[in-house]
């Protein structure tokens, strides 16, 4: 701003009001930029946490899906249980069969043995499995499909669930 000193002469400088306005505008700008930066720093871990949860859920889901549909399902799945041999894990009769133990994962030989399975894959993380009859989801007899849901919860409370179906074929 130019201030008239004498006739025809001007002094260069800022008034107190202009300086205060400048400081207020800069302060508000820095505050806004700082809050955006803080939000991004806090949220930078979200993709890492989600990726970690996904890998823990996927590995457990793969483990469950590698098992037979039912205790009486022959290796290879043919013929399907219920055709020439009865199925054991039908309706709500899911869970452990004789000689199986949830603490010994190698004893779990079919999908429904994992119903209500829970473990701690890492400190602070919890992983649970639910298995239910789900044939009606596809318009077939309810006992012909099982829905497997693996849920992993992080120490921060973030939850990741993966669901897959296993069919009797």
Q: Give the pLDDT of the chain (169 residues) as one tens digit per residue.
A: 555 556 656 667 778 898 999 999 999 999 988 888 887 776 666 788 889 999 999 999 999 999 888 877 777 767 777 766 777 755 556 777 778 888 888 888 888 889 889 999 999 999 999 999 888 888 888 888 899 999 999 998 889 999 999 988 7
**Domain assignment of residue 52, yes or no:** no
Whether 112 and 153 share a structural domain: yes
pTM of the predicted protein model:
0.70
The pLDDT tens digits of the residues spanning 56-97 come to 999 999 999 998 888 777 777 677 777 667 777 555 567 777
| Cis previous bond, 137, omega within 30 | no
Whether 25 and 103 share a structural domain: no
Residue 16, domain extent? 2-42
Mention every residue, 6+ apart, whose C-beta is less than 8 A from residue 101: 107
Whether 132 and 68 share a structural domain: yes
Whether 78 and 111 share a structural domain: yes
**Domain assignment of residue 53, yes or no:** no
Given this model, what pLDDT does residue 61 score? 95
Whether 96 and 159 share a structural domain: yes
Whether 34 and 79 share a structural domain: no
Given this model, what pLDDT does residue 164 score? 95
147-151: Cβ within 8 A, 24+ apart: 148/61, 148/64, 148/65, 148/111, 148/114, 150/57, 150/60, 150/61, 150/64, 151/57, 151/127
**Domain assignment of residue 79, yes or no:** yes
> What total number of domains does the chain contain?
2
Given this model, what pLDDT does residue 126 score? 96
Whether 31 and 95 share a structural domain: no
**Domain assignment of residue 51, yes or no:** no
**Domain assignment of residue 47, yes or no:** no
Whether 70 and 146 share a structural domain: yes
**Domain assignment of residue 54, yes or no:** no
Whether 35 and 82 share a structural domain: no
Whether 72 and 146 share a structural domain: yes
């Amino acid at each position: 701003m130019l201030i008239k000193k004498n006739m025809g002469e001007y002094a260069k400088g800022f008034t107190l009001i202009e300086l205060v306005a400048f400081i207020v505008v800069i302060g508000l700008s820095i505050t806004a930029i700082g809050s955006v930066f803080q939000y991004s720093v806090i949220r930078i871990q979200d993709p890492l946490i989600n990726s970690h949860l996904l890998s823990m859920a996927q590995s457990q889901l793969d483990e469950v899906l590698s098992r037979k549909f039912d205790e009486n399902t022959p290796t290879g799945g043919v013929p399907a249980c219920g055709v020439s041999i009865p199925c054991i894990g039908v309706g709500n009769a899911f869970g452990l069969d004789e000689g199986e133990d949830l603490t010994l994962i190698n004893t779990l030989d079919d999908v429904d043995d994992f119903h209500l399975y829970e473990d701690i894959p890492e400190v602070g993380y919890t992983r649970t499995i639910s298995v239910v009859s789900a044939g009606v989801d596809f318009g077939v007899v309810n006992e012909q499909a099982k829905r497997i849901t693996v849920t992993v919860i992080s120490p921060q409370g973030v939850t990741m669930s993966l669901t897959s179906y296993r069919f009797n074929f």
